[in-house]
């Protein structure tokens, strides 16, 4: 039996994860490393040995390679899962450029699976672009599916042009014996939009109401709840999806208020966090020139979305308006050199907070948790 030929465009965490799953099932998989401009052969034993992109990159095993256009021209299924690091209109241009590059060599009978999130109606433009670039008619010469991936979740539904089923694709994507259901692309867009809006409506409620926890007893009580371990890292999950949804909605209707309100909720939290850091200087009678801020946020550099990178850079820029010495720390080991300055460590994720507490806290170090209370330790 001939193995199904698959290309995953984009050496992203999500793309690699899905590529490994299909390689272990016996598919003939190539994954495109855009930076190296090559398609890498991903065999089952490699997929089992290297659980993520970082481990693969660090070990640099010998892998078979092919030119990108050759690999794509032979593929039955092309998954589009690139890393996007631009924002706003620039992100749209970057996606279009990469999508053209990915689909220009696809042959008649091939299928494209689009893994980036779009807003409502966002796939219509992508389908038009695919038809233009490939010269093939949708539903006849080529097939198209919408399957937005996130780092911790593979959807159970697949959006399909004309809601057409594809049993071979369903088996490739099946995990934990859970089958995949095919729906129309517009239905898949709506279901993803509901998921994202529900997530951020809940988050915004927590962030806004937590502002009222001013007295010591109330803050102590809230520390004992599940919200205590909700960090900035969690808050930014799916922010790219939310913004994509915002750009697809016109007018000033209720949905636009939901999107904008959620974005403002995150922005308001960041402002409050910076105010807490400034307030900490004042309470402890610290001079900005004698204080160092270390933002501890271990990020996955291979994630498809660039929300967290963007948020971290924004935090650094805003903090440097008040405190000149601002550092970023990433990685498994916390190694903060002693200096003659008082250090404020800002823990941006649960992983990083656990790392800080394990490391122990010196008397001249202040730790701030980026939870809804902006808890100071």
Handedness of CA 93, 99, 104, 105 (dihedral sign): positive
pLDDT digits (tens, 9 = 90+) for 224-240: 788 888 999 999 999 99
Q: What are phi and psi of 219, to 5 degrees?
A: -65, -40
Name, in order, each residue with C-beta under 8 angstroms of 238's C-beta and a sequence gap of 6 or more.
150, 196, 199, 200, 307
pLDDT tens-digit profile of 21-39?
999 999 999 999 988 889 9
CB 156 within 8 A of CB 145: no
Tokens of 187: 């239905």
Q: Quote the tokens at residue 314.
A: 């924004």
CB 213: neighbour CB atoms within 10 A? 17
What confidence score (pLDDT) does residue 361 get?
64
Contact 5, 25 (CB under 8 A): no
Q: What is the pLDDT of residue 359?
A: 75
pLDDT of residue 1: 61
Between residues 76 and 246, which one has the greater pLDDT?
Answer: 76
- Average pLDDT of the chain? 91
- pLDDT tens per residue, range 276-303: 999 999 998 889 888 999 999 999 999 9
Q: Are 332 and 298 in contact (CB under 8 A)?
A: yes
Please state, in angstroms and rounded to a whole number, the distance separating the CA atoms of residues 345 and 358.
Answer: 14
Q: What's the token pair of residue 331?
A: 């990685």
Asked if residue 148 lies in contact with residue 124, where contact means CB atoms within 8 angstroms, the answer is no
Q: Which residues contact 137 (CB under 8 A, 6 or more apart)?
A: 131
For 114, phi then psi, to 5°, come to -90, 120
Q: Across residues 337-353, what is the average pLDDT?
A: 87
Residue 2 pLDDT exceeds 70: yes
**Per-residue pLDDT at 344:** 93
Q: Taking Cα atoms as reference points, which of 7, 132, 130 lies closest to residue 67?
A: 7
How far is Cα 106 from Cα 159, in angstroms, rounded to an integer? 20
Indicate if the pLDDT at residue 253 is higher than 90: no
pTM for the full model?
Answer: 0.92
pLDDT tens, position by position, 149-186: 998 778 899 999 988 899 999 999 988 777 889 999 99
pLDDT digits (tens, 9 = 90+) for 93-144: 999 999 999 999 999 999 999 999 998 999 999 999 999 999 999 989 999 9
Identify the pLDDT of residue 239: 94
Place of tokens 């481990």: 55
């Amino acid at each position: 039996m001939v193995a199904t030929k698959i290309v995953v465009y984009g050496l992203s965490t999500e793309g690699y994860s899905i590529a490994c799953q299909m390689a272990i099932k016996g598919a003939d998989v190539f994954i495109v490393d855009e930076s190296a401009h090559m398609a890498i052969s991903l065999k089952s034993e490699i997929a089992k040995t290297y659980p993520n992109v970082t481990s693969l990159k660090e070990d640099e095993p010998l892998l078979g390679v092919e030119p990108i256009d050759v690999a794509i021209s032979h593929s039955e299924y092309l998954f589009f899962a690139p890393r996007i690091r631009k924002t706003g209109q620039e992100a749209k241009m970057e996606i279009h450029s990469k999508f053209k590059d990915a689909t220009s060599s696809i042959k008649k009978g091939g299928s494209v699976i689009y893994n980036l999130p779009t807003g409502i109606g966002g796939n219509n433009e992508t389908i038009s672009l695919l038809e233009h670039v490939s010269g093939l008619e949708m539903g006849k010469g080529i097939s198209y599916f919408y399957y937005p991936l996130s780092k911790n979740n593979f959807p159970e539904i697949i959006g399909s042009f004309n809601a057409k089923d594809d049993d071979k694709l369903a088996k490739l994507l099946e995990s934990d014996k859970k089958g995949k259901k095919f729906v129309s692309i517009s239905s898949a867009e709506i279901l993803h939009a509901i998921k994202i809006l529900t997530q951020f409506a809940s988050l915004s409620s927590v962030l806004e109401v937590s502002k009222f926890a001013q007295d010591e007893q109330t803050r102590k009580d809230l520390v004992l709840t599940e919200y205590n371990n909700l960090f900035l890292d969690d808050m930014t999950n799916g922010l790219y999806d939310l913004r994509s949804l915002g750009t697809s909605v016109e007018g000033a209707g209720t949905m636009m208020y939901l999107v904008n309100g959620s974005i403002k909720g995150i922005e308001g939290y960041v402002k409050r966090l910076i105010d807490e850091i400034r307030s900490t200087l004042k309470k402890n009678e610290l001079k900005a020139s004698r204080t160092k801020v270390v933002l501890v946020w271990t990020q996955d550099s291979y994630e498809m979305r660039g929300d967290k990178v963007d948020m971290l850079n924004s935090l650094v820029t805003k903090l440097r308006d008040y405190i000149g010495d601002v550092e970023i720390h990433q990685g498994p080991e916390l190694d903060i050199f002693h200096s003659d300055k008082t250090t404020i460590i800002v823990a941006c994720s649960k992983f990083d907070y656990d790392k800080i507490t394990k490391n122990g806290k010196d008397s001249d170090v202040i730790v701030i948790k980026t939870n809804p209370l902006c808890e100071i330790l």
